[in-house]
Structure 1
Amino acid sequence: MESRIVSSAEQATDIRYSFLNTLDHFSCEYVRTLWLIQYLDNKCLDGARDEEALELQICGKAEYLNKLVEERVSFLQQYKQDLEMQKGINKRYSQLLSRKKGTSTVVRQSSKTTTKKQNGKKLLLKINLKKAYRRDMELEKKRKDYLQKSSNESKKREVKDANGDEERYCFCNDVSYGAMIACDNSKCEREWFHYPCIGMTKPPSGKWYCSERCRLQGGKK
């Protein structure tokens, strides 16, 4: 029933078939033949539109998969850099702890100020423990902050990759990504469409409908 309504609406807007309403005085068989020709012509047009939509859907899917691969490669490269940086920080921290233990041993052995006579003058040697300890604590705090930040970013990336419950749109029945446009028919089942899937590169100047059916439904309002 719906296809007959759509065909009637297309007939009303197609100049090629506007004369059919004036053929009531012809025989029923002749008029029925003309109606059949019109129906077959509309079916051919629908098949061509379906093939075009399928080609656009395949192109959009390929671009989306390429984008996912590029994002995954970028994530792995960044993760590798984070691991190398963390390894360097751990190495420097271990060296710092070793120097700190050596300094503590020297301090215990030289708990008193060491003085020497040189050219009739006293040479005073002091070790600033507070300054060295404060510097060590700052380095330790920076190391912990960086490790925490790296861990949070990794968790965010994992949550983003695992989120597969998003709504589906477009002819490709895929999630929302990149530039998209909405069909101006409020009753459209798909609502939003990816630019690559419909062969669009920039927003249209007027209203846009995803199909002739949506155009007719939107024009009736």
Structure 2
Amino acid sequence: MPKGSNAPRSPSPLQLDPNYGLKFRGVPGAYARGKTGTERAGTNKIEAQHVVKAVAEHARTSPELSLGVVAFSKAQSDTLTEALEYERRRDPVLDAFLREGRSEDVFVKSIENVQGDERDVILISVGYGPQDPNGRLASMSFGPVNGEGGERRLNVLFSRARIRCEVFASFGPGDIDPSRSSREGPRVLKRFLDFAKTGVIEERIATGLEADSPFRVNNLLRLHS
């Protein structure tokens, strides 16, 4: 396909393999903007529970692969940590997997604290979303992603996974309206989520940006291996 072509790129065999690439995991989560009786402000408890379930599944099916968990906010990363600590007390397999002593221990961090931490598998909790399960995404605010250079944070985040990156979100890529934000971050997030969900990326996205673009997917997603 000629460089710069606007034609979509079809999914590669590895992208179709659930063990590789970038994957989208839609969940019926709800974002608590303010403190409620059961949740602290700025968290998505339902989404966190789905991520914890995925960690437990990973412990059973792929314990030989290193794992990292990243949230878009400090509040959500704290909720994930608490949910994991609660679940490990009831699940000896998960508890054994989370114990320290591996060459690459499991970590749970916010997007702002992820720098050189690479793992075989990265699970991402966006956290932000509708205030009711399956509701409308009223705000285009995604925390640090909306800040100056938010698209670079996404680049660092998505490139931390060696084999697979799974993104958990309580909304779909079509719910993001880039026209409602002046920042590049939400636009990049929308494209990433769309690619994660469909496995198809437009060639112009992959070739039309600078060398340090978040859409350097060839290495990240092993599309051309």
Q: TM-score range by the shorter chain?
A: under 0.3
Which structure features the higher share of helix residues? Answer: 1
More relative contact order, 1 or 2 (CA 8 Å, 6+ apart): 2
Which structure features the higher share of strand residues? Answer: 2
Larger radius of gyration: 1
TM-score by length of 2: 0.22
